[in-house]
Amino acid sequence: MSAAAADGASAVAVIGGARASPLLLACEHAANHLPPAFGTLGLADGELKRHIAWDPGALPVAEGIARRLDATLIASTVSRLVVDCNRPLDAPDLIAELSETTPIPGNVGLSEGERRRRVDLAWRPFHETVERLIDQRLAQGRPLCMVTIHSFTPTWKGVARPWHVGVIHDADERMSAPLIAGLCAEGGLVVGDNQPYSPADRVYFTLERHARPRGLPCAMIEIRNDLIADAAGQDAWAERLARLLAPIVADMSVAARPTERVRHA
Ligand SMILES: [Zn+2]
C-alpha cells in the first residue's frame, strides 16, 4: 500500500477488493501519514510514531487476517490526527486538539472551512468506500459481516492496562460472544469485554454507521500494541485471530442466507 493521500492521492486503500470471504475488514487508524500540506502539525517527529497518530501494528495484523481468510480490507492512509475516521462528525475528538496528554498545535482553533477540508480529504473517502463495497456485495446477494482492527497503548494517562486484547460490541453479540469465548479458551490471555473502550466512548462509529443499520454481524478488535510491535507478534496475532474468526464468519454466512441453510439442511 502506498503512503497516499498526498496532494490528490487516495486517502483510502482497498486491499484484496475482489476477495470472496463474507468478512469485510476495516482499519481506520492504519497510518500515521500526514500529507505534506500539514507539515508535522507542530509535533516533534517522535510524537508521530506514537499511538496518538495511529494504531501501531494494526494494519499488518489486519492484512495478515485478510490474506489468511481471503477477505477484503479497507484502510485509511491518513493519520487520525488529520481527522479521525472512527468518530462521528460531531465528536469533540474528530480532530483532536489534545491526544492523551499531548497537545496537537496544528489542530487548535481551526476554521469551519479547514475542518470541512479535512473531512473531505480523508473521512468522507473512507466512509464512501466502505459504503460502496457493502452496497455492491449486498446487491450481489452475498452474505456479509464486518470486523474492525485497532491497537491500544499499554499505559494510558499513567494507568497500566491489563488486557492483551479487547472485543468491543453493542447489543448485537453474534460475532463478539464467540470471539470472546475463543480468545478466553486460548489460555493465558486477559480478554477485555468492552475494554479498554466501549461503544459509550463513541469509538464504535464505523460499525454503527455501516454495519448496524444494515443488520450485519460485526465486532471491533483492540490489540495491545506492545504485543504487535514487530513482525513476529503481528504474524502470531493475525494467525490467532484468523483461526478464531474463520468458523464465526462461516456461521454468520449461513445465518445471513436462510434459504441456503434450508437447502443444505
Ligand atoms: Zn484505533
Q: What is the pLDDT of residues 11-60, one digit of tens each?
A: 999 999 999 999 999 999 999 999 999 999 999 989 999 999 999 999 99
DSSP class of residue 28?
Answer: T
Distances in Å between the alpha carbon of 220 and those of 11, 204, 223? 22, 7, 10
Q: Give the pLDDT of residue 256.
A: 57
Give 220 Cα–ligand 1 centroid separation in angstroms. 10
Give 44 Cα–ligand 1 centroid separation in angstroms. 21
Give 264 Cα–ligand 1 centroid separation in angstroms. 39
Asked if 95 and 83 count as a contact pair (C-beta separation under 8 A), the reply is yes
With cut-offs at 50, 70 and 90, classify the pLDDT of residue 252: confident
pLDDT tens per residue, range 141-164: 999 999 999 999 999 988 999 999
Q: What is the pTM of this model?
A: 0.92
Find all residues with CB under 8 Å of 253, minimum gap 6, and list them.
22, 143, 145
In one letter, which amino acid is 134?
I
Helix (H) / strand (E) element for 246: namely: helix 231-255
Domain 12-264 in CATH 3.40.630.40? The answer is yes
Report how far residue 148's alpha carbon sits from residue 221's, in angstroms, rounded to the nearest whole number. Answer: 6
Give 84 Cα–ligand 1 centroid separation in angstroms. 9
Give 249 Cα–ligand 1 centroid separation in angstroms. 22
Cell of 46: 517522535
Strands 165-168 and 191-193: parallel
By percentage, how much of the chain surpasses pLDDT 90?
87
Give 214 Cα–ligand 1 centroid separation in angstroms. 23
Q: Give the pLDDT of residue 254.
A: 73
Would the pLDDT of 118 be above 50?
yes
Q: Give the pLDDT of residue 262.
A: 41
pLDDT tens per residue, range 188-204: 999 999 999 999 989 99
Nearest one of 59, 61, 57, 68 to 23, comparing CA atoms:
68
Is the sign of the CA dihedral 183, 85, 51, 77 positive or negative? Answer: positive
Q: Give the pLDDT of residue 9.
A: 67
Q: Give the pLDDT of residue 45.
A: 81
SS3 assignment, position 153: coil
Would the pLDDT of 265 be above 70?
no
Helix (H) / strand (E) element for 223: namely: strand 218-224
Would the pLDDT of 165 be above 90?
yes
**Cell 477477505, located at residue:** 71
pLDDT tens per residue, range 53-102: 999 999 999 999 999 999 999 999 999 999 999 999 999 999 999 988 89
Mean pLDDT in residue range 226-246: 98
